[in-house]
């Protein structure tokens, strides 16, 4: 579950930059502890929010599965 959130974060950043996640030039680990994200996702409660900055964006991840890049909600990919 934690890995899927990390993938969704990368996809949301890539979407904001109009590129593929593989084309992102900075690894997520450079800006935030991915272990911390995994721990939050695994937490019993969903009443948490994590906000961090990358070189070009402000990312917000919440316990109720929302990911925002620069205040814009990620579009679910179905």
Digit-coded pLDDT (tens) for 34-47? 999 999 999 889 89
Q: What is the pLDDT of residue 65?
A: 86
Q: How many CB atoms lie within 10 A of CB 30?
A: 8
- On average, the pLDDT of the chain sits at 88
CA distance 6 to 73: 15
Q: What is the pLDDT of residue 78?
A: 37
Q: What is the pLDDT of residue 3?
A: 75
- Identify the residue with better confidence: 3 or 32: 32
CA angle 46, 27, 56 (to 5 degrees): 85
Q: What is the pTM of this model?
A: 0.85
């Amino acid at each position: 579950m934690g890995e899927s959130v990390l993938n969704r974060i990368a996809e949301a950043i890539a979407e904001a930059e109009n590129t593929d996640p593989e084309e992102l030039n900075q690894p997520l680990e450079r800006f935030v502890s991915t272990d911390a994200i995994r721990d939050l996702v695994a937490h019993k409660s969903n009443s948490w929010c994590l906000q961090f900055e990358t070189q070009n964006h402000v990312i917000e991840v919440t316990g109720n599965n929302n990911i925002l890049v620069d205040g814009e909600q990620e579009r679910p990919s179905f």
